[in-house]
Amino acid sequence: MSAKKIITFLSLALCLCVSVPVTASVPANSEPTPKEILANKIETRLVEIKNMDKSNMTQVEKRELRNEVKSLKKEARKSGIYLSVGAIIIIVLLLILLL
């Protein structure tokens, strides 16, 4: 690798590693927003589906559950609560391997 590529990569890595502390001022008696309520409902339903005993279900019931999970995930992405953990893991692994 040339020195220019190394310097560019190191500067990019440095920019990604810098963190800025952020404090949020949330009133003590604030009501949850509609997005937070929707996110909580989606999360609880996904946990319920995950904890279900699916061994005695028919194929049709399992397919309906899969479709419900897909639609819930689409709703979550639309409402802005989706976080791609896989992308974060890949970035961290690439940084570890390259440094």
Q: How many CA atoms lie within 13 A of 30 on its CB side?
A: 9
- The alpha carbon of 86 is separated from its chain's Cα centroid by a whole number of angstroms, namely 8
Q: Which domain holds residue 88?
A: 34-99
| 2, part of any domain | no
Question: How many structural domains comprise the chain?
Answer: 1
Q: Give the integer Cα–Cα distance in Å for 39 and 1.
A: 46
Q: Is pTM, for the whole model, over 0.85?
A: no
Q: How confident is the prediction along the chain (99 residues), in pLDDT tens digits per residue?
A: 688 888 887 777 776 766 656 555 656 667 777 878 888 898 899 889 889 888 898 999 999 999 999 998 888 777 664 456 776 777 788 788 887
Phi, psi of 41 (to 5 degrees): -65, -45
